[in-house]
Amino acid sequence: MDRSKLDDRMKVLLRKIRAGETSFSPVGESDEARREFDRQVKCLIALREQNLIPTKSLLFQREPYGEGFEFSGAALVRGLTYEGELAADALDMAPAVDALGDMLSHPGLLACRRDFERAVASVASDPSHAIAAASSTLESVCKAILSQRRRPFPSDQSIQPLMKETMKALDLAPENAAEDEIRRVLGAVGNIAAAVGTLRTKYGTAHGRTNEHTPLTSIHARFAVNAMAAGALFLLESAINK
């Protein structure tokens, strides 16, 4: 979902509907309150036109009670569509997610994009799967960079060894940085891989679970996807500029 197609009122409505709000009416009796509600109605109609709310679920109460005001209430029979849920989730993602999505549209990165799309799409519906897909995305990005630079994959192709080899290939190994500040920043990039990999191992769908397994929420999944996007974007932009 392209967030640029949503104005601020539409974003607020998406969040309200996802939170369970189904009834809308003017807040007060003033002309300004009625004008604001008319604008809200137009946003609801726009959300319907973009297939973010079901076509037949939006009902209006048409009782003109002032010149120029057509609606006195609106209600949703059902909540957001699947596309609407994705759009609402996307509102809470960091800008790096959008930027990475654009970059992964390159034909040579389609394998990375498939993992990336699975991660973003699963944040709310299946957090464990989102975490596993976030880790897979970072692994795929590392492999794409190593392949492009004709560098061999490490014997252990899990996320941390792949990240280490990729940063070496890009001359980004923290131990080679001349300044402490740069060393810390580069170390943080490596820590992203470690953190996402740890979440995947303990909570993702790629490994077995114990009886004591406590599932994570969409908050944790969103953090993992946002962190992955920041790390992957840094690697890809570094690869392009070297």
- What residue spans define the domains of the chain? 8-85, 93-241
d(CA 103, CA 97): 10
Q: What is the pLDDT of residues 87-134, one digit of tens each?
A: 887 777 778 888 898 899 888 898 899 999 889 888 878 888 999 999
d(CA 108, CA 111): 8
Whole-model pTM: value is: 0.67
CB neighbour class for 150 (10 Å; exposed up to 12, middle 13-18, buried from 19): exposed
d(CA 130, CA 125): 9
Q: What is the pLDDT of residues 30-83, one digit of tens each?
A: 888 888 888 888 899 999 999 999 988 888 887 655 556 677 888 988 888 888
98 Cβ contact list (under 8 Å, min separation 6):
3, 90
pLDDT confidence of 1, banded at 50, 70, 90?
very low
Q: Looking at per-residue confidence, does 214 or 80 come out higher? A: 80
